[in-house]
Amino acid sequence: MYRQQILDHYKNPRNYGELDDPSFTHVGENPMCGDALRVDIKLADDDETIEGVSFKGDGCAISQAAASMFSGELRGKTLEDLDAMDRDDVIDLLGVDISPVRVKCAVLAEKIAQDGASIYRGEKEEMEKTTTEE
């Protein structure tokens, strides 16, 4: 059973929508579950500190709640902080045990944001979308 917090973030997502004039936008999907997200990130003038985050998309309760919680955690962090995050950080935000199959749902927003940041910095070539298929 999902915890009340997950249901709350699923039914009332925080930071849902699109940012005006984001520094970068990236999209991704989890083809196994049908989750699809777009993540917008706006950087401060230092080109490193995350000033704004939004997401938009459809998917299961885990992917949507994780995107909502994750987007709230990013504001004020740096791109370096984003790079250092791993799947355990997102799972800890959810606060419940996640089966191996559902981990891909939970980390989708994180992977999209990390790939978007890498593309923005020129460290990774532009890709159509991020997937959690691997």
List, as one string, the DSSP characters of 4-57: HHHHHHHHS-TTBS--SS-SEEEEEEETTTTEEEEEEEEE-TTSSBEEEEEEEE
What was the pLDDT predicted at 126?
A: 86
The string of pLDDT tens digits covering residues 83-104 is 999 999 999 999 888 888 899 9
> Which residue ranges of the chain lie beneath pLDDT 70?
1-2, 134
Task: Please name which of 76, 51, 58, 50 lies closest in space to residue 13, comparing C-alpha atoms.
Answer: 58
Quote the CA–CA distance of 127 and 133 in Å, as a whole number: 15
What was the pLDDT predicted at 1?
A: 43
Q: What domains are there in the chain, each with its CATH number?
A: 4-129 (3.90.1010.10)
